[in-house]
Structures are given as C-alpha cells and as structure tokens.
A and B are shown apart, each in its own frame.
Chain A
Amino acid sequence: MTTTPVIEAIDETAASHGRPPLNVVYEWLTTVDHKKIGLMYIVYALIFLVIAGFQAILMRIQLAVPNNHFVSPQVFNQLFTMHGTTMVFFVGMPILFGFGNYLIPLMIGARDMAFPRLNAFSFWISAFAGVLLYFSYVGGSGLYAAGSAPDVGWFAYAPLTAKVFSPGHSTDYWTLAVFLSGVGSIGTALNIVTTILSMRCKGMTMGRMPLLVWLYLVMASLVFVTVSPLTAAQIMLTLDRYLGAHFFDTQAGGSAVLWMHFFWIFGHPEVYVLVLPAFAFVNEIVPVFSRKAIFGYAAMVAASVGIGFISLSVWAHHMFTVGLGPAGNTFFVFATMVISVPTGIKIFNWLATIWGGKVIFAVPMMFCIAFIFQFLVAGLTGIMLSAAPFDWQLGNSYFVVAHFHYVLVGAILFALFAAFYYWYPKVTGRMMSEKLGKWHFWLFVIGFHLTFDFMHIPGLLGMPRRIYTYEAGREWETLNLIVGIGAIIQTIATLIFVYNLVRSYFQGEVAGHDPWDAWTLEWATPSPPPSYNFAVDPTVNSRRPLWDLKHPEDSDTGYE
C-alpha cells in the first residue's frame, strides 16, 4: 500500500469581470493560453455548426415535397457545397482541435502546449479561412458582381473546377479556404504531437497516458499524411486556374481521376481524423460513468494505431464506380473490410467496460451509449458499401449520404455532445442542466433516427444525391418528408442544447473540482483551471492518478 503525497496549492487567476470590456477582448485576441485558444476553437466551430445546420434545413425544406421551387438549382448546389465544406473543415476539425487543445495539457500535467504562439497562429489562420469561405457570398464572382458561393461540391471533382467550367472566383474562395484551413490543421497537429511527446509530467509514461491523449496522438499524426496531400492538390488546382497549368486539364492530357485520388487520399483518412477524437471522448466518459477502469487499455491503443495505418489504404473505395479494375477493386474492398476489425475491437471494449459496472445514466453517458449503438450501425452500412458490386449499385445515392451522416452525426456529434456535458463543469465551473440535457438527448435521438434511418430507403429506391428536386410518384415523397421532419426535431434539440450552454453559464449549479468523481489529472485542478493549470508539476504513478489519490488502500499501481 502506497499513499500518494499531495501538495495543497492556492490557485489565483485574475477575474475577468469588473475590468473594462476592451481589456478583456484584447486579452482574448492576443492570448496564447491553450485553454482560451481551445475555447475560441469550440465557439468558432459552434457558430459554423449553426450556419451549416441552417443550410441543411434549407435543403431539407427544398426536398420535403416533390417539384419544389423553394430554392433554385444554383442555390441548391451552393448549399450542399457550403454545407459539406463547412461541416468538415470549419466545424469538425476546429471543434475537435478545440477539445484537444483544452484537454491534452491538463491531462498530461503540462502548463501549456509545446508551441503556444504557433497554437494561436493556427487558430487565427483557420478562423480567417472560414471567414474567407463565407466572404465568397459577397465577393465570389469578383467584387463588382453580386457574389456567389462555391458550387462545385465538397470534393470539387475536376474538370468542373477548371476556369472554363467554373468562371469567376467562387471556386478560388473554396480552394484558398481549404488550403488555409489545412495549414492551420497541420500547425495544430504538430503542436499536439509535440506536446504529447515532450511535455508530459513526471511519471506519465506513454503507457500511462489517458486514452484520450493516445487517440489524439494518432489523430494528429494522421493529419500530417492526410491533410498535406489535400494541401498539395489545392496548390495544383490554383496553378491550373491561375497560371494555366494542366494538372487536371483533360484537354491537355491531364487526368480528372488523379484529382479524385488526391482528394480521397485526404478524404477517407479524414473520416478517421474526425472519428478518433470521438472515440477518445467515449474512452474517457464510459469508464467514469460505469465506475470501472477501461477494459483493454492496450488493445484500445493498438486498435487506434491500427486504424491509423489501415485508414491510409482504403481511399479508393470512394471510386469503385470509376472503374479501378479487378485488382484495385479487390485490394480496396479487402482493406476497407479489414478496418472494421479494429473498430469492432473498440466496440467490444466499451461494452466490456460497461458490463458489470455500476452504470450512472447521466446525460454524458446517455450520449455515449447512443454513440456506441449508432456507430455500430454506421459501421455495418459501411461494410455493405465496401463490397464493390453493392457500391456500383448504390454509389452516389442517398444510401451513401445516410451512411456517412450516420458516422458524422450519429457517432461524432453524439460523442461531442457527451464531451460538452462531461467537461462543461471543468471549463466554466458550473454544471449543465440535467433536465434540459435529457430533453436535448431524447429529442435529438428521435430526430436523428427519423432523418437518417429513413434516408437510407430513398437511396435503395434509386434517389441520387445532390438533386435539387424530384418528380412525384417515385415513392420518395413520404420518406423525404419524414427526413425533413426529423431535421426540424434535431434543430429544436440543438436549440435546447445551445440554450442550456448559455443558461448554465450563469445559473448552473456550482461544480467544484471533480463533479463526476473522475480519475484523470484535469479534475485535480479547480474549475475553471487557473491560467497556469498546475501550481506545481504533478507526478503520476498509474493511468488513474486521482483514483490513487482517493483510494490509497487500493491504488492502481499494483495492477498495471
């Protein structure tokens, strides 16, 4: 039996109220504190989430009934392009980087990220990229024209992006925004990897890091080899459009398929870049609310690293309909099916963690359980689509749209909501309302399943994606109406969530250091943590330092 010695530290942070508002704004604009930058990432992503969600609602209204003229075909093209681009580059990436920024230094017992100024640079360049993308609505076709947003789809296939087919500057706004967001992502990923490898507190060996930190390490490493190819492809596209180069110019012998390869070499691992942090949140939340240590720590790490490697060899399953030849098809079918093995390991580990635990059904745990179920379903439709002949039938149909939204919404967004409810008390010092949280959860679950379960069926009935309207009598009408109703319910749920976020900041119950009786280092600091995080550098002896602190008679040290 070993007792962990502790040091009682008095934490002081200058309070921000009572100071002139300009000073506070100046402090946020110039900050290099990882917690403030993390929060700015999250708030910025939430703003874009509302914008891109609004675009989704407009599309669902347009498709709710056949032969609709709510928006024009041109506007519809802009809507799905902006919705996809915004959700991936200006919601998904920044919100996950935001959580990483906030949590990683706290979890590994560091006082900041490895490169605080690079951190600020990466945030502001990403923020600028988002503004640039939306400035296209004003300046898209040149400043003297009315303006128009990009309308080439979020994967912007060549040769549609060539100057001849996309005149004006709308496509350039897309290219530059994605390029700059890529620069910001690479900067933050570099910072995350360096922080994890070089800033860990005493005793925090790689084998003792919280799983969240491990998964962010894999995710950030993936960013280098996935976002960089996209950045390279954007440079080529810009050269094509401005200097008359011929990379994707089919008239001069260039290849449109090459762009598809370059895009999806980014595009598919990007899904794992987005979903690994979602796994990370679930890895932290499920054990705490099951009152058990995570089952299979080593297997989880191995599975995550495995996913990272395998995800680099599956990109062409987005291109089965192009015609890859039997050898290419076989390889990519096989690789895609293989990736379900490590993801399956993860699902079994979560179930084994819950198994026999004293499960507490608080809101974060409810979102996690929905996550596990929905991620499983998304994975199963993924295996269906990984079979090339099935994909030839359903490629580019609403079945595909339903499948990837099941991953992005059903898995990633649910895990994000869980993370919000779980870490909100740490960030603000106040609890979010459980009652509103349950309303949010149930409405969102109902809305989600109405929308995305029913969206599979029009796909099976042959409805292609990206059409702005359709004729009556194809049996798509009722299904699309249900999908639209589900979208409205999800919107209401999200509004409740936003209201809860704001309300709890002022009226929430005071949380204290450790409202969930959790085990990782961030809960040792006051809520909100002082700007220097830890008054003294902590030392850890196991994966659950606060468990050791609370249970000296049964510390983890003996079991690992």
Chain B
Amino acid sequence: MMNTTSAIPIDGAMETPWTLPYRGTVGMACLIVAEAAIFIIFIVAYIYYIGKSLSGPTPAQVLEMPIFGTICLLSSSITVHFAVSALRKQNLRTCTIHLAGTVLLGSIFLITTAQEWYHLIHTEGLTIRTNLFGTTYYSLVGLHASHVVVGLIMLSLTLCFALMGRVTEEHSEKLEVLSLYWHFVDGVWVVVFLVVYVLGR
C-alpha cells in the first residue's frame, strides 16, 4: 500500500446550488451533432449528383412519394414523446403502450422502405451500381434506414424491460435520451424526404 496525504480545497460555506446538465443528454447531443455531420456529407453528395447520371433510370421515372411510411415515422416521434412524459408521471402502463406504438410505427416505416427497394431493384432494375442516382439514393436512404434499425433495437429492448416491469420512473431521464435519438432520426427523414422525393424529382 502506498499512503500519502493530500490537501484538497473544500468550502463548506458555499451554499449556492450547483447543478450541471445530465451527462446522458449532453452525450446524446454530441452524438447527434456528429451524426448530423455524416448525414450532411451524404446529402451534399446527393444534391451535387442530382441530374448528373450518365444513364437511366431517373428519379422522376421510378420514385414515388412514400407518404404512408413518412406519416408512420413522424407519428412515432409523438408516441415516444408521450411514452417519456407518461414515465415521468409514473404512469407505467401508458408508457408501455406508447413504446409499443413507437416500435410498431417504426417497423411499418422500415417495411415500406423495404417494399420500395424491392420494387426498385426487381421491377425497375435500379441498384447501387446502375448510375449515380442509384449510388446516392441507396446510400443516403440506407444510411437513414440503418439508423432507424438501431433506434428500433434500442426501443424494443426498452419495451421488453417495460413489459417485464423493470422500467420505473427513475429511468425517465434515460428514456428521454433515447427519445432524443429517435427525434433526430425522424428529423433527418424530413430532410431526406425533401431532398430525395421533392427536390430530387
């Protein structure tokens, strides 16, 4: 054992309250900034290559607005918000129902994306190799979809814990951190939707 003494400045008299931001929220905010930078690069590449493909098919020929999937994904932001506020009010049952709703809506979005890709690949013959549109479309939408998958895995885990009765009011801060991520994924979709399906067509 190594024993030494140290003199540490303390101040018992200081009574001013000392509160710092919750580290989970700060950490998630940092992650969101970093992820946003990644998405911006992919979006810049998408916009830069609009109309630069040397061969077809073009977005106008093959893309359809995924209205239903978009409504589902954006609604899931509302349900996850209700899940957090229910947990804060110690209303575990409502929280579980809203979590389940979020997972369901997120999954429906993924299914609509999968159907869209299936259609594009099998009917239209558009793959990531076909042209610049295929390259940028699949990578941007795929990058977003992979974030949806990660979010869904974490939400499903939370749902499992909630069903097992392991989620309590003290976890509301942590659930809020997760909901921040989910809101971010939804927000990115708004941008991707505007760029790919509105601007790009």
Contact: A200 with B20, CB < 8 Å? Answer: yes
Q: Mark A5-38, 1 if CB is under 8 A from B, else 0.
A: 1111111111100000000000000000000000
Question: What's the minimum C-beta distance from A532 to chain B, rounded to whole angstroms?
Answer: 11
Binary contact readout B110-145 vs A (1 if CB under 8 angstroms, 0 otherwise) = 000000000000000000110110011011000100
CB <8 Å contact, B8 and A534: yes
Contact between chains at A236 and B139 (CB < 8 Å): yes
Give a binary string over A208-245; 1 marks a CB under 8 Å from any B CB, 0 the rest: 00000000000001011101110111011001000111
Judged by a CB distance under 8 angstroms, whether A252 is at the interface is: yes
Whether B5 lies near A10 (C-beta < 8 A) is yes
Partner of A232, one of B12, B41, B53: B41
Residues of B within 8 A of A191 (CB): 27
| Distance to closest chain A CB from B77 (angstroms) | 23
Q: Count B interface residues, CB 8 Å.
A: 47
Chain B hits for A243, CB < 8 A:
128-129
Contact for B37 among A202, A225, A245, A540, CB less than 8 A? A225
Known A14-B1, A198-B21, A245-B135: A525·B34 in contact at CB below 8 Å: no
| CB under 8 Å from chain A, chain B span 1-56 | 1-14, 18, 20-23, 26-27, 30-31, 33-35, 37-42, 45, 48-49, 52-54
In Å, the complex CA distance between A258 and B41 comes to: 10
In-complex Cβ contact of A224 among B23, B26, B37, B131 (8 A)? B37
B31: chain A residues at CB < 8 Å are 190
A-B pairs under 8 A by CB, number: 177
Select A194's contact among B1, B23, B131, beta carbons within 8 Å.
B23
A253 within 8 A of B: yes
Residues in B whose Cβ lies below 8 Å from that of A114? 23, 26-27
Residues of B within 8 A of A526 (CB): 4-6
Residue numbers in B under 8 Å from A15 (CB-CB): 1-2
Nearest residue (CB) in B for A200 is B20
Chain A, Cβ-Cβ closest to B13? A5
A549 within 8 A of B: yes
Q: Which residues of B contact A521 (CB under 8 A)?
A: 9
Known contacts A114-B27, A193-B30, A229-B37; A540 and B9 CB within 8 A of each other: yes
Q: CB-defined interface of A58-86 with B at 8 Å, one 1/0 digit per residue?
A: 00000000000000000000000000000
Contacts of B13 in A (CB 8 A): 5
Q: Which residue of B lies closest to A232 (CB)?
A: B41
CB A469 to nearest CB in B, in angstroms, measures 38
Minimum C-beta distance from A524 to chain B (A): 6
Contact at B35–A228, with CB atoms within 8 Å? yes
Contact of B14 among A202, A221, A225, A227 (CB under 8 A): A202
Chain A residues, Cβ within 8 Å of B131:
246, 252-253
CB distance from A195 to the nearest CB of B (A): 8
**Residue among B7, B38, B132 making CB contact with A252, cutoff 8 Å:** B132
A8 to B6, CA, bound (A): 6
Say whether, besides A200-B20, A549-B9, A224 and B48 are in contact (CB < 8 Å).
no
> Is A229's CB under 8 angstroms from B38's CB?
yes
Q: Are A4 and B9 in contact (CB under 8 A)?
A: yes
B146 CB to nearest A CB, Å: 10
A224, A526, A546 pick with most chain B CB within 10 angstroms: A224
Out of A199, A235, A524, A541, name the residue touching B7 (CB < 8 Å): A524
- With A12-B1, A228-B35 as given contacts, are A545 and B9 in contact (CB-CB < 8 Å)? yes
Do residues B18 and A203 form an inter-chain contact, with CB atoms below 8 A? yes
A17 to B68, CA, bound (A): 66
| B2: chain A residues within 8 A (beta carbon) | 12-15
Contact assessment for A190 and B34 in the assembled complex, using a CB-CB cutoff below 8 Å: yes
A539 within 8 A of B: yes
* A194-B23, A198-B23 given; A224·B8 CB < 8 A: no
A197 to B39, CA, bound (A): 25
Known A189-B30, A252-B131: A548·B6 in contact at CB below 8 Å: no
Minimum CB–CB distance from B150 to chain A (whole Å) comes to 14
Q: Closest CB-CB distance, A331 to chain B, in whole Å?
A: 17
Q: Which residues of B contact A7 (CB under 8 A)?
A: 7-8, 10
- For A252, list chain B residues within 8 Å (CB): 54, 131-132
Contact A258 B26 (CB under 8 A): no
CA distance A8 to B4 in the complex (A): 10
Q: Does A247 contact B (CB under 8 A)?
A: yes
Q: Which of A9, A186, A194 has the most CB of B within 10 A?
A: A194
Q: Which residues of A contact B1 (CB under 8 A)?
A: 12-15
Q: Can you list 10 pairs linking A and B with CB atoms under 8 Å apart? A: A115-B23, A223-B34, A228-B35, A229-B37, A232-B39, A239-B135, A253-B53, A262-B41, A526-B6, A535-B6
